Amino acid sequence: METLISRHWHAIPAADVGRFLDSDLDIGLDQFEVRRRQEHFGLNIITPKKRKNLLLLFLQQFHQPLVYILIAAALVTLIMQEWVESSFIIGVILINAVISFLQESKAVAAIEALAQSMETETTVIRSGKQERVNAAVLIPGDIVLLQSGDKVPADVRLIEVRTLRVDESTLTGESVPVDKQSDALESGLPLADRINMAYASTLVTNGRATGIVTATGDKTEVGRISQLISSATELQTPLTRKIGQFSRYLLVVILILAALTFFVGLWRGEPLIDMFLAAVALAVGAIPEGMPAAITIMLAMGVSRMAKRQAIIRKLPAVETLGSTTVICSDKTGTLTRNEMTVQKIYTPQGSFAVDGSGYSPSGKITPIEAKDSATDSLAMRECLICGVLCNDSRLLHQEDRWEINGDPTEAALIAAAAKAGIDADRLRADYPRKDEIPFDSDRQYMATLHLNPDTGQRYVYLKGAVETVIERCTSALSINGESLDLDHSSVSSAAADLAAEGLRVLAFAKSKPLQSDQEIDQVHDRKDLIFLGLQAMMDPPRDNSHQAVAICHQAGIKVKMITGDHALTAETIAKQIGIVDQSEEDHRTVFQGREMTAMNDEELIEVAQNAAVFARVSPEQKLRLVEALQEKSNVVAMTGDGVNDAPALRKANIGVAMGDKGTEVAKEAADMVLLDDNFATIVAAVEEGRSVFDNLIKFIVWTLPTNLGEGLVILAAVFAGVTLPILPIQILWINMSTAVLLGLMLAFEPRESDIMERAPRDPTLPMLTGEMIFRIFFVGFLMLVGGFGLFEWAELRGVEIDRARTIAVNVFIFIEIFYLFNSRSLSNSVFRIGLFTNPWAFAGVAVMIVLQILYTYLPQANRIFQSAPIGWFDWLKILLFASLVFVLVEFEKGLRRRRTRKKS
C-alpha cells in the first residue's frame, strides 16, 4: 500500500498526505521523530554505483580468444627456451592489454553526478521552527519551504503555493517553467502533468511554496532514473561484436591448422621439437597481433578529428558506432531547439507582425504580415511590446558574447522582442517606475503591475496573462495611431487559437486607462474596461542548422525521431519545421503520446517505434523502452539529449550523445559522446567521421589479413613439403608488428571518400567482411605464399645459407605489404583515380619501413636478434619485381569488378 501511495501523491489531497506520512502540516516533525526516520530512511542522497575493481578490469583484457593462443605460444616457447620469441610474444600481449585497459578504465560516473545534483541546503519546519539544513538530512514527512532560486531538495507534494514556477526541463523536457498549484489531481497522470508536485533537482524560477517531502534519495524520481542508468546494460558496438565473432572463427581455424601442422609433421617423421616450433610459428603468423592495437589507435585518431569538429568521444568504439547508426532518437529541448524562448509573432486587432531572429539576442526585425503599416509606426504593436517589458520580473544580461537570462524564459523572450523594436528595457523601466504589482498566480492566470508616468503624473496598470483571462477584462483596443476602438472578442480568440495550433505559446497584453487618485492595482481584478494591446506568440525555436542536419541524415539513410517530454502539438510543430515529419505524410500517424505508449504491448510498440517520428509527453522509462523497441529491429540507435531524464536512454542506446554546453552532468557522464556546441548539426559531422573511420578500419583489415594468411600458408606448405621453415616465429612477429604500425596505421589518415554520406547505413546484421573482400584476402594471401615460399626455395636451390634465404622471404612479405598498401587505399577505385599523393602519411610510413628493413637486413645487431643476414642486389630486384606484380594484379582485379558493377547497373 505504501508503495502504491508513494507513486500517486499527486492524486491525494494535501491534508491526507500529511496524515499518511504522520506529519503535522503546520509544525512539522519533532526532533525525536526526525532522528527515528533518519535511521530508517537514511540520507537523502543517491547511492553511488559500485565501481569495477581495476585489477579485474586489467585481467579481463586477457579474456579474448586470440590472446589465449598467444599466451599458449608464449608458454611453449618458454618451455623450449626460445627466450627472444617468448619475450616478443609476451610484449605484444602486454601492449594490447595496456592499451585496452587504459581506455576501459575511464569508468562511468553518472550516479555520482546525480548525487551531486542533489547537494544543496533547504529551509525546513521542524517542531514549529524554521531552520536551514543540508538537504541530505531531509526525510519523508518533513515540511519544506521553497522560494525563487531554490533547487528542489527532494520529491515534494505542494501544500500552499504562491505564484510558484519550477523549471523541470532537465527532468521532463518541458521547455518553459511549469506553473504549480496545490489541488489534488487525477491519478495516472504523466510526470510532466503533476503540477502539484515539485521534484528533486529541479529549479524554482518564481514564487514560493510550502510542501511535504514524499520521497528522498533513491526513492525520488531522479533516484529512480539513477536505478534505470544502473540497470540499462551497455550494448556491444557493431565493431566489437563483429571483431568478437571474427576472433572466434579465426581461433577455430588457427587451432585446426596448428594441430594439422603438428600431426602431419610427426606423421612424416619430423622431430617433436621442430613440429612444436612449426605449430607455434603458424599460430603466431595467423594471428593479426597488431590488429587490436592498430584498431584502438585508429579509433583514437578518429576521436582527435571529431574533437576538432566539436564532438568529444568518451568511449572509443563510439567512433565506429556512429558510422553504423540507422536511427537517431533526439530530445527536443536544447538539442533540436535552442532552449531559448523566442517571440515569433505579434497580433494586434489592426494587423499581425513576424519577429525574426532566435534566442535571447536582441538582433532581429519586426515586419508586418498583413498590415499595410510598418512595424515601427504601429502604436498598438509598440504598446504591446512595452507592456511585455514593464509587466515583467526578468532581466537579459550580455555575458561573454552571449545573452543570458536572470528569471523566467518566457519573460526574457518578451524583453528580446521589444529590443528588436528599439525598446531598451532598462531605460523604459527607469522612465516608468513600478509602484505596485500583483504576481502571477495559476488561479488568476495573469500578472499585473502599476506604473507611474513622471511626465504626466498619471498611473497605468499593465496586464499580461492567459488569453481568455485578459480579453474578458477588455472592452476596447488601440488603432494603428493609438485611438480607441471597440474590441472584437471573437476575432482575438480566433487569432489566439490559430497561433496555438502552430505550436506557439500565446500570451495576451492589456493596459488600463489612467487610474483615478483613489484607485489601486487590486481593483484590476474586477475591472472590465481595460484596453487590449495584443498577443505575443512564442516558442523554443529550432537551431539554425537543425533542418539541414536532419535532411543530410535522411539523405544518408538515417531515420531521425523526436522523443520529448514536451506537449505533442509543440513537438509536432518543431518536427515539421525541421523536416522530421513530412507535412505531406498522411498515410499513417507520426505523433504518439506517452499515455498511448503505456497501453501498448511490446509488439505494438515495436511497430509504432519503427513508423512514428514524434513521441511526446514521454517519461524516462518510456524513452528507455523506445530505444529497446528500435533495437529489437536490429537498429543501431543513437540517442541525443541534455537532461537528467535522458540519461537512462543515453546509456542503453548503442551510442549516447549528450549536449556539452547546456547539458546536465548526469547526461554527459551517461553518454558515449558529448557535443561541445550543443548543435544537432555536429552529429552529422560525427556520423560522417564515424563512417570514414569504419571505412579505414575495413581497409586496414583487408590489408593486414592477407599477410597473416600468407604466413600461415607458408608454414603449412613447408611442413607438408618436409622442408625448412622459410620464416621463424620471431620474424613473423617483426613483420606483423612493424608493418601494422608503420604501414597499416597510415590508412587512418586516408581522406574521406566523396560519396560517404550518400550511402545507406551498413546493415548491422551483415558480417564485417563482404564476399569481395574475403576473395581479395585469399587472393593476396596466395600471392604472398607464392612469392615468399617460391623465392625462399629458389635461394635454397642456389645454395644460399638459411638465414639469407629467410631474410629474402621476410622482405618479400614486407614489400608486398608496401605495394598492397596503395591498393588498399580504396577497396574499389584505382589508387590513381583517388589521387596517388592525397595521403602523404602513407609515403612517410613506407619510407620509415624501408629504412628499418635495411637495418633489419644489414645491421649486425639485428642479424643476431632476428637471425637475418645481408642479401645482394639481385635478391632485391626479384623482391621488388614480385611485389610490383602483386600491385598490378590487385589493380586489375579491382578494374574487373568495376566493369562488372557498371554492367549490372
pLDDT tens sequence across 659-692: 777 666 667 777 888 887 777 788 888 888 888 8
Dist. CA 871–CA 850, nearest whole Å: 15
Q: Is the dihedral angle over the CA atoms 168, 173, 179, 182 positive or is it negative?
A: negative
pLDDT tens sequence across 70-96: 676 667 666 656 566 667 667 767 776
Dist. CA 94–CA 91, nearest whole Å: 5
Lowest mean pLDDT among 52-61, 179-188, 560-569, 785-794: 52-61
Chain centroid to CA 93: 33
Q: State the number of CA atoms in the 13 A half-sphere of 381 facing the CB.
A: 27
- Asked whether residue 149 carries a pLDDT value surpassing 90, the answer given is no
Share of the chain above pLDDT 90, in %: 32
pLDDT tens sequence across 232-259: 545 455 566 666 677 777 778 777 877 8
Dist. CA 495–CA 492, nearest whole Å: 5
What integer is the mean pLDDT of 756-775? 81
pLDDT score for 583:
55
Does residue 530 sit in helix, strand or coil?
strand
Angle at 854 between CA 851 and CA 856, to 5 degrees: 110
HEC-encoded secondary structure of 456-484 = CCEEEEEEEECHHHHHCCEEEEECCCCCE
Does residue 352 sit in helix, strand or coil?
strand
Q: Is 16 considered catalytic here? A: no
Band of the pLDDT at 111, cuts 50, 70, 90? Answer: very low
Catalytic residue among 331, 642, 646, 875: 331
Dist. CA 337–CA 202, nearest whole Å: 20
pLDDT tens sequence across 348-364: 988 899 998 888 888 89
Four-CA torsion 734, 736, 739, 743, nearest 10 degrees: -170
φ, ψ of residue 560 in degrees (nearest 5)? -115, 125
Here the cell at position 820 is: 598492397
